[in-house]
């Protein structure tokens, strides 16, 4: 599907309502109960009923348990009619290793909202490929108030529970604020973490970005690696026909060279001939806000806003 301005062809799960059960899963890296306790407190405060997937705290090196356990937890969540939302605890690494084991028929039969970011981009891309499921790019349940304060919590809550469009405004304090090409773009918002978008090249999960607005963010990647990844996307033809680029937070991405991440983003995205808007507080940085992915977005570089249709109905 390359028509990313068509309003249909997307599976929107029902919005979460008070009393709904949400399952906390760890498809990627390992987490700890003390990190997740605050997330459980938040979800409970919203009237939701968080339950833990059987292997949510499993550990296997840098993975949250062996592949079979992580895949089983995802399929348990997707198959259980009582579970109305799937909240990932964190990113890290490992979602790519299990996405091919997801029961996509179960996802299509009973769509539920899936929230997460970072490595969870691999899961969102797989669910888009396998079920055209709209998702939620936002903080996980391993919640840290110092990074994601009240505004972050309210943003996630709104994306999960309301059918209002989400508008995120560029913030001058963000390092990527100066990355901008004037114009207005309308298209489906796809993408997320730059590393995971690039890692999906050559797999069935790399979406056709023709007519899409591409969301990009990353963390702890020096500018030359950002350059390398964007160059690979360009050389692969993945950015041909884009409608626009929404640039989120590129946190802790400086190194010893005098070229900053904003310079690289401007150089590698600025000549694509499409609107580009940086400075969006979406990603790994302080004040992270939540956006739907897989739904129609309007990027207005002059106004400094990204407005995205809800992922839920």
* Same domain (yes/no): 180, 95: no
pLDDT bucket at 9, cuts 50 / 70 / 90: confident
State how far the alpha carbon of 136 is from the alpha carbons of 71, 152, 155, in Å.
20, 13, 11
Q: Name residue 189's beta-bridge partners.
A: 213
> Backbone phi, then psi, for 49, in 5-degree steps?
-115, 90
* Same domain (yes/no): 223, 175: yes
pLDDT bucket at 7, cuts 50 / 70 / 90: very low
* Same domain (yes/no): 119, 196: no
* Same domain (yes/no): 136, 188: no
* Same domain (yes/no): 171, 283: yes
Contact predicate 296/7, CB 8 Å: yes
- Please write the tens of the pLDDT for every residue from 133-178: 999 999 999 999 999 999 999 999 999 999 999 999 999 999 999 9
DSSP class of residue 110 equals S
User: Mean per-residue pLDDT for 77-85?
Assistant: 98
User: Mean per-residue pLDDT for 238-255?
Assistant: 97
Q: In this structure, what CATH number is given to the domain that contains residue 282?
A: 3.50.30.60
* Same domain (yes/no): 259, 143: no
List the catalytic residues.
118, 217, 284
Lookup: tokens for 190: 């796809």
Q: How far apart are CA 297 and CA 107, in angstroms?
A: 24
Contact predicate 277/304, CB 8 Å: yes
| Domain stop point among 161, 190, 215 | 161
pLDDT given for residue 275 in this prediction: 98
Average pLDDT, the chain: 97
pTM: 0.96
State how far the alpha carbon of 29 is from the alpha carbons of 52, 86, 228, 288, in Å.
16, 16, 25, 20
| Domain stop point among 119, 145, 161 | 161
Q: Is the pLDDT of residue 8 over 90?
A: no
Q: Is the pLDDT of residue 262 over 80?
A: yes
Q: How far apart are CA 39 and CA 285, in angstroms?
A: 18
Q: Is residue 16, in this structure, part of any structural domain at all?
A: no
Range of the domain at 300: 166-308
* Same domain (yes/no): 142, 173: no
Query: Strands 166-169 and 305-308: what pairing?
Result: antiparallel
Helix locations, the chain, DSSP H = 33-45, 67-79, 104-109, 120-131, 150-161, 194-199, 223-235, 261-269
Q: How far apart are CA 159 and CA 136, in angstroms?
A: 7
* Overall domain count for the chain: 2
The helix/strand/coil state of 166 is strand
| Domain stop point among 97, 132, 161 | 161
* Same domain (yes/no): 37, 56: yes
pLDDT bucket at 1, cuts 50 / 70 / 90: very low
Q: In this structure, what CATH number is given to the domain that contains residue 58?
A: 3.40.50.10740
Residue listed under structure tokens 């999906």 = 200
Q: Is the pLDDT of residue 197 over 80?
A: yes
* Same domain (yes/no): 31, 79: yes
* Same domain (yes/no): 34, 52: yes
Lookup: tokens for 126: 């797989």
């Amino acid at each position: 599907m390359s028509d990313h301005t068509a309003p249909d062809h997307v599976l929107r799960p029902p919005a979460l309502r008070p009393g709904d059960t949400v399952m906390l899963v760890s498809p990627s890296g390992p987490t700890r109960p003390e990190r997740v306790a605050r997330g459980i407190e938040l979800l409970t405060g919203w009237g939701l009923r968080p339950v833990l997937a059987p292997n949510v705290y499993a550990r296997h090196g840098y993975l949250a348990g062996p592949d079979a356990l992580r895949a089983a937890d995802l399929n348990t969540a997707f198959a259980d009619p009582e579970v109305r939302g799937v909240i990932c605890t964190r990113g890290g690494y490992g979602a790519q290793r299990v996405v091919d084991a997801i029961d996509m028929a179960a996802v299509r039969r009973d769509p539920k909202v899936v929230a997460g970011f970072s490595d969870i981009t691999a899961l969102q891309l797989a669910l888009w490929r396998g079920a055209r499921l709209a998702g939620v790019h936002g903080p996980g349940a391993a919640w840290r108030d110092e990074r994601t304060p009240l505004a972050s919590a309210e943003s996630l809550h709104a994306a999960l529970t309301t059918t209002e469009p989400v508008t995120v405004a560029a913030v001058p304090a963000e390092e990527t604020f100066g990355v901008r090409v004037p114009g207005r773009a309308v298209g489906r918002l796809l993408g997320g973490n730059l590393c995971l978008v690039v890692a999906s090249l050559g797999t069935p999960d790399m979406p056709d970005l023709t007519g899409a607005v591409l969301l990009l963010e990353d963390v702890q990647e020096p500018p030359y690696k950002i350059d390398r990844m964007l160059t690979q996307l360009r050389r692969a033809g993945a950015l041909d026909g884009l409608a626009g680029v929404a640039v989120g937070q590129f946190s802790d991405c400086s190194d010893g060279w005098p070229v900053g991440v904003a310079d690289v983003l401007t150089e590698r995205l600025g000549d694509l001939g499409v609107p580009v808007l940086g400075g969006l507080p979406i990603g790994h940085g302080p004040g992270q806000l939540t956006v739907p992915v897989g739904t129609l977005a309007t990027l207005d570089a002059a106004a400094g806003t990204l407005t995205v249709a809800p992922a839920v109905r």
